[in-house]
Amino acid sequence: MTLKTTDIDKPAIDGITIDCVIFSFNKESLEVLLVQHAQGESVGQWGLLGGWLKKEESADDAAQRILHELTGLENIYLEQLKAFTDPKRVIERRVVTIGYYTLVNREDYNIEASLSVREAKWYKINEIPNLIFDHNEILDFSLLQLRNRVRQAPIGFNLLPEKFTLLQLMHLYEEILGIELDKSNFRRKILHMKLLVALDEKQQDVSHRAAKLYKFDDEIYKKLTEKGFNFEF
Amino acid sequence: MTLKTTDIDKPAIDGITIDCVIFSFNKESLEVLLVQHAQGESVGQWGLLGGWLKKEESADDAAQRILHELTGLENIYLEQLKAFTDPKRVIERRVVTIGYYTLVNREDYNIEASLSVREAKWYKINEIPNLIFDHNEILDFSLLQLRNRVRQAPIGFNLLPEKFTLLQLMHLYEEILGIELDKSNFRRKILHMKLLVALDEKQQDVSHRAAKLYKFDDEIYKKLTEKGFNFEF
DNA sequence: CCAAAAGTGTTGTTGATACACCCATGT
DNA sequence: ACATGGGTGTATCAACAACACTTTTGG
């Protein structure tokens, strides 16, 4: 776009924020981390984790920074959703937000003390309360996006611990896609992709036959990803 | 996100723009409309069609407005790509742009006189020159997005005239996806979807057997779209 | 009659689906 | 011994790829 000084004397925008939908997978259910803000006009209401985009950072960097402040994690898997721009999405101000979704492994996760967050809590995907601003819309959009992306690339692995069983993986897909899968057929298909590496380890402390553990292999993924593959189940 | 007055006294952002990748399909090749801006520091350089996001409009509305100003068209098919936020994408200013891509049917299309655009020209997808700012990046991203979306929903129809032949449609998919398709198998698959309505009309003035014309049926699409379908070819 | 594109038919292979069944382990 | 989940095998069916073939039309 052409820049003309006069165009921007009065910016039409009061600011840009980042809002993050943080997904995790816990005991067969997909959950989202919501926070109560400690300051501002929305104290006490639940919403997505968010913050202002700073002048010298990209939106990706801002999202990583905001997530780091809350969780202490670095290099979280995240993807931009889109910009949410309804002029009425925030009253009295013109604030555009850039939505992100991130997939975290619950085991790594650890909420840090934070000035801006009063409380944080995991909510099951079908038990989401009313959220501030357009955060319900952002969340709904992120679910659609997640369901789509999960069919095209093995991003779901980011929700699991490093070592996992095939059935855990299957339950993950069932939960995200909202479908039921056949154990036998799922095994065949996922193993046939050659994307998993079988470990010489088994589950511990389970009250039934211990399942073999697998891990996701980045190397193999990179090789396969060039041809593109299909995660339709 | 929490709003605090002090946070936004000095907005970190000089403004938000909209940039549109305009696709069309012409004689078996996918093309993009590029413009030369008539004003500002980038006079004479090719770039995407763009403009400022105004205070009282959503990004979708802004994109429709900007497209209307250039083409005279209303209700163009468009989809947001994402926000492009690299702090260095524009020198000396902090301008975030929201990318869009749109699919237009070349027959409807008609460039209007415009104050801000000096010239507009269609470029084949593999003959794109160097563009201003990060517009090459936006264009590359839009191509990826188009290739993805075209596999999941019949959006490609927006690039064709209302009545078309099966082979035209096949060539469209070949061009977008960069693959070769088998005539017979393509026919079977697309007709099997029941998405097309055969018309009682044939091609005119062709120097070979005239092909039957089809149209895309919105009604049927809506019925089918609920179950979701696969456009992998 | 020939070129060029439209349109049909056939066949082998692959992969999804729907089951039934056996295995290992803790209580 | 039985409950619980882990893991294997198989028969059927639908979809796809490859390719050969026939039809229509203008020149």
CB contact under 8 A, B1 and A94: no
Q: pLDDT tens, A22-73? A: 999 988 899 999 999 776 666 778 999 999 999 999 999 999 999 999 888 8
pLDDT of residue B3: 47
Q: Do B11 and A12 touch (CB under 8 A)?
A: no
Q: With an 8 Å Cβ cutoff, is A36 touching chain B?
A: no
User: DSSP of chain A, one letter per residue?
Assistant: ----GGGGSS-S-SEEEEEEEEEEEETTEEEEEEEEESSSTTTT-EE-EEEEPPTTS-HHHHHHHHHHHHH---S-EEEEEEEE--TTSSSSS-EEEEEEEEE--TTT--PPP-SSEEEEEEEETT-----STTHHHHHHHHHHHHHHHTTTS-GGGGGS-SSB-HHHHHHHHHHHHT----HHHHHHHHHHTT-EEEEEEE--S-SSPPPEEEEE-HHHHHHHHTT------
Distance B174 CA to C9 C1' (A): 24
Can you tell me which residue has its alpha carbon closest to the C1' of nucleotide D17?
A: B185
This prediction has a pTM of 0.91
Is B1–A57 a contact, with Cβ atoms under 8 angstroms apart?
A: no
Give mean pLDDT, residues A166-177: 95
**pLDDT tens digit sequence for A119-153:** 899 999 999 999 999 999 999 999 999 999 998 88
How far in angstroms lies nucleotide D8's C1' from the CA of residue A184? 8
- Nearest nt (C1') from A166 Cα: D6
Residue A8 identity: I
Query: What is the structure's pLDDT at A72?
Result: 87
Sequence-separated (6 or more) residues with CB below 8 Å from residue B173: B150, B156, B179, B181, B186, B233
What mean pLDDT, rounded, does chain A reach? 89
Per-residue pLDDT tens digits of chain B, which is 233 residues long: 554 444 444 567 899 999 999 999 988 899 999 999 776 666 778 999 999 999 999 999 999 999 999 888 899 999 999 999 999 999 989 999 999 999 999 877 776 656 667 789 999 999 999 999 999 999 999 999 999 999 888 899 999 999 999 999 999 999 999 999 999 999 999 999 889 999 999 988 888 889 999 999 888 888 777 766 788 88
The C1' atom of D2 and the CA atom of A164 lie apart, in whole Å, by 27
